[in-house]
A = this chain, B = another copy of it.
Amino acid sequence: MNTVEQQLEIIKRGCDELLIEAELRDRLKSGKPLRVKAGFDPTAPDLHLGHTVLLNKLKQLQDLGHHIVFLIGDFTGMIGDPSGKNATRPPLTRDEVEQNARTYTDQVFRILDRAQTEVAFNSAWMDKLNAADMIRLAATYTVARMLERDDFHKRHKGKQPIAIHEFLYPLVQGYDSVALKADMELGGTDQKFNLLMGREVQKHFGQPPQVILTMPLLEGLDGVNKMSKSLNNHVGITEPPSEIFGKLMSVSDELMWRYIELLSFESLQKINARKRAVEQGGNPRDVKFDFAKEIVTRFHGAPAAEAAAADFEARFRRDEIPADIPEVKIAAKGDGLPLSQVLKQAGLTASTSEALRLIEQGGVKINGEKVSDKSLKLARGERCVIQVGKRKFARVSIT
């Protein structure tokens, strides 16, 4: 069993904010496993590494012996957006919720221990609440304080409509903490307001307020924007091993350390030793290589990781990719850009017609693989190493 201070070090690693640390220390001192809540939308998920920052923290807490409640917010999901303004949020049926939950947990249990995780649905208690209960819940918070929430504040100032039910959803989330008797809730930094509200609602219901822990939002492969599928700067955890491996090898050295801090389960001591080694002239590529293997192992197992690593080496080392490949960012028109134009704009060919001829002749490779389709388009958000002939390389991002 870890001491309180050892636990605190693990819990705080990579976190954005811990409120209130003294309260957490007291709860840990009691020796009683904490009830740790993390809430998720019941939408069909396709988890990427960004989502796993939080899941990793849950896993660490689980390994410390605490009780993890994976809460699916199906109650609000089944209401949808009743103002009808958001056509992308139709109400979900019970069947859809359950199917989504299975898809979700199938992915989540690649990280968390299925046997030791409680999966809860907030409809279990919210369906029992009547209108009067909802009114009483709404009385626990003021309009002015709700308008302090960053997104509400911006919309209100910008004269963008906020439907009144949107003020009720954070209260429902707060009430979930009451129903679960949560000792602690985890969320992204963008959830801080809602997590704090959980404290208020718990106090109102006579419960000691939960400790809140926010985790940073992971940057995508571009190193700039938050990782998201819609920006196509993500690494999906169900992607094929070689895809994950290749994508992680493509990140900048700076971003690599950030990913390692938030995604690796290596000890801080070991990571710091590697940093020192690189500072003293070690090749960061080796660190990246081991990190990519760790991540692929997590989602696909060790044999798949070994295979992906060997495949990557075979494709790239064989071609002797130089250490310093120029980084080129190219603005897409619309959704993407034809490869021939990318080649020209990256300075790899003199013209698009030269580019098309070289593709035809088999002289162009993307991530080590020969391209034969002259009409190939690179999508916005795509990052890859392009090779023309034996010598010319560029690490291209389509932005």
Contacts and interface: CB of A to CB of B under 8 A. Distances in A.
A87 interface: no
A140 to B, nearest CB: 7
Interface stretch (A27-35, A130-138, A294-302, A327-335): A130-138
Contact of A167 (B131, B133, B167): B167
A278 interface: no
A261 interface: no
Contact of A129 (B76, B130, B136, B171): B130
A141 interface: yes
A229 B165 CA distance: 38
Interface centre among A78, A159, A164, A165 (most CB of B within 10 A): A164
A135 B166 CA distance: 9
A390 interface: no
A143 B167 contact: yes
Contacts of A156: 143-144
Contacts of A259: none
Number of copies: 2
B135 A165 contact: yes
A75 interface: yes
A145 to B, nearest CB: 8
A159 B146 CA distance: 13
Contacts of A161: 142-144
A136 B168 contact: no
Contact of A171 (B142, B159, B164): B164
Contact of A164 (B76, B141, B159): B141
Given A131-B131, A167-B164, A139 B75 contact: no
A163 B294 CA distance: 50
Interface in A109-158: 126-127, 129-144, 146-147, 152, 156
Contacts of A133: 131
A140 B75 CA distance: 19
A188 B162 CA distance: 29
A177 B134 CA distance: 21
A268 interface: no
Most B C-beta atoms less than 10 A away, residue of A76, A83, A126: A83
Given A130-B127, A136-B82, A142 B168 contact: no
A81 interface: yes
29 contacts: A75-B132, A78-B132, A79-B136, A81-B139, A84-B139, A126-B131, A127-B130, A127-B131, A127-B132, A129-B130, A131-B131, A134-B168, A135-B168, A135-B169, A136-B165, A138-B163, A138-B167, A139-B163, A139-B164, A141-B164, A142-B164, A143-B147, A143-B152, A143-B162, A143-B166, A144-B159, A146-B164, A164-B171, A167-B167
